[in-house]
Structure 1
Amino acid sequence: FGEPDMEQIMTKATIHQFSKQSDCKINESDILKWAWHSWRMAVGPPIKQTYGKLIHLMNNGARRVGFQDAGDSWREELEMPNLRATVHRLWQEVKPLYQKFHAVIRHFLRKRYPEIKDFDRLGLIPAHILGDMWSQNWETYAASIVPHEVDIEHNFKRMNWTGQQLVKRAEDFYSSTGLPMMTKQFWEKSVFKRGANVTK
């Protein structure tokens, strides 16, 4: 019971065929809106009861082992005592970049879908045109917005970094998010290039 049931509801849901008078112009945004709305209407009502039962069971299970609810147990797994404060701080750091990115996507989509009348140039982006059913993956439009592909491998080769330098850059990134630095033993025992002596 639970996730398999919800997956079955989502994968077996059927929606009514899109229909509009043949003499009317059909826009891509109309079809996207129909698909977005129809799928939610086909999946939402039947999944609601199953989802509620699943949350109830998960919360009961978490309480039996000393947690307030399932969310409390998930947060505990991360072993970060100030998780909420850390998430809030990180969001404040990334928010300006996200807002700029959101503005670029919004500008592009307003030009692509001029027929959407209530699409404010400074407001929200209609969920149904964002590229996937959950409006969370904007990769669909990456090729249209970025004028040329970024060749990361070429840039790495140009910088002539060693394997150890690459790992160091990765460590810099992870530590900037609040994770601990790698240990002295990691740097002493790790193999960073082919053919290195690994008998130590």
Structure 2
Amino acid sequence: MIASLGGVVTSSVRVGDDASTTADALGLTSAVGAPACHQRDLIVTTGGTGDSRADHVRALLRDAGADFLVDGVDVRPGGPALLARLPDGRLFVGLPGNPLAALLSVLTLVHPVLAGLQGLELPALRPAVLASPVDGVRSGTVLRPYRSVHDPDSATPHAEPTPWHGAAMLRGLADADGVLVCPGSGAAAGGLVPSLDLPW
């Protein structure tokens, strides 16, 4: 996905839910043999952005003196995502650990950051007519993958929201044509809502 958005992945490291190992991998310590994340424009992590005892990313960033530019997003799924600037100027995007939440956060945070670093414009939101309602959630915005469906009574394709929209579910995104951007209160069938094209 990073490559499809114009980025170049220079390294990839897997670490467990351990604060010290995570700090070493991010280059926040001077441990011997730690993978160097310096000389990078952007660091992207997945997981560890929540509030449990196994989630260390926010605390490590605070301890390192990072400036939180986006400390959580009022959206579901993907609320625990964050954007920060490290003291040495590197940008940092922390994605949630759940797969759908992480991938939708690529759209809402990683894509805009990479576009900005490359001097590119983001694609415009497109209007979509809902074929089925989208239920409300306790959040400012609902992101819902959808498939385009033909409505015999309309010349405009309609958007069928996926029923598989839990933060850990990838099935709905796997065959999606785009992502609906609905108000947290929900939206009725036949309503017009903004949508994002998938960049991959």
Same fold flag (TM > 0.5): no
Task: Determine which structure has the larger helix proportion and give its number.
Answer: 1
The bucket for the TM-score relative to the shorter chain is: under 0.3
Task: Determine which structure has the larger strand proportion and give its number.
Answer: 2
Q: Whose relative contact order is higher, 1 or 2, with alpha carbons under 8 Å and at least 6 apart?
A: 2
TM-score normalised over the length of structure 1? 0.19
Which protein has the larger Cα radius of gyration, Structure 1 or Structure 2? 1
TM-score normalised over the length of structure 2? 0.19
